[in-house]
Structure 1
């Protein structure tokens, strides 16, 4: 089953899937600064660029999890003036 970010506790209704969000979390303070809902029949790979686009990433270090170790994601981060470190 593909990963879809974090499931929202209590969001499952009957036989429906729970709501999932893909968050952007600051390392210091662990604050969520942005999040995007992931479609029930999708996964977080498709939401990655859309989640990062509104954020100012220049000179930031992005540390996505292993699912995002993809050339397209690395290029997207680099073209925004940021660097990455895969976890």
Structure 2
């Protein structure tokens, strides 16, 4: 039920739900999301932050981390560091 409700909420906000936007980590404190999840939110965040989407694209790229040791896991966006960078604008 929670996942369906969250999917509906995201869709109503104009965001295409992705897995990591629907599910939380065990602690609920994971500061990383997939690049696809960050991309899905660009227009909304750009509007709220009064930034051009292209500038937000660059910031997302700057805060995207590659695979651990180049082979483990998937690339991810560090949301904490991205938000701190956005706060400087």
- Asked if these proteins are the same fold (TM beyond 0.5), I'd say no
TM-score by length of 1: 0.28
Q: Relative contact order (alpha carbons < 8 A, sep ≥ 6): 1 or 2 greater?
A: 2
TM-score by length of 2: 0.28
Bigger strand fraction:
1
Bigger helix fraction:
2
